[in-house]
């Protein structure tokens, strides 16, 4: 068994070469929101959900992006409501959110 049921990585990369970056789209703020929401729902901790910041996941052109393990499901998002949907449908109910899947 994995230490976490779900491990979620948000790309929070900020490139300095002019190319698009996930953080250009507010990924850090949305990651902070997701982390607080998971804690508020009592879903954080061992055998539950872990929200992490990642450096470049090399998909910034499709970004912002996050990936959920162990399923290896990649998502994009626009705002907190998209992340709310990923939390509810994927992390709680176990269903992939097809409209946000990369």
| Domain positions in the chain | 6-100
List CB contacts of 46: < 8 A, sequence separation 6 or more. 3, 4
44, β-bridge pairs? 49
pLDDT at 62: 86
pLDDT digit string, tens, across residues 45-81:
999 999 999 988 999 888 799 999 999 999 999 999 9
CATH top-level class for 6-100?
alpha beta
Using a pLDDT cut of 90, give the percent of the chain over it: 80
Beta-ladder partners of 102: none
Which residue shows structure tokens 């872990």? 50
């Amino acid at each position: 068994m994995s230490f976490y049921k779900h491990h979620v990585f948000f790309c929070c990369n900020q490139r300095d070469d002019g190319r698009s970056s996930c953080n250009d789209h507010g990924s850090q703020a949305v990651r902070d929101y997701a982390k607080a929401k998971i804690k508020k729902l009592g879903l954080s901790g061992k055998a539950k959900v872990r929200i992490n910041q990642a450096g470049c996941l090399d998909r910034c052109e499709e970004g912002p992006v996050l990936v959920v393990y162990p399923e290896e499901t990649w998502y994009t998002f626009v705002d907190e409501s998209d992340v709310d949907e990923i939390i509810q449908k994927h992390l709680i109910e176990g269903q992939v959110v097809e409209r946000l899947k990369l």
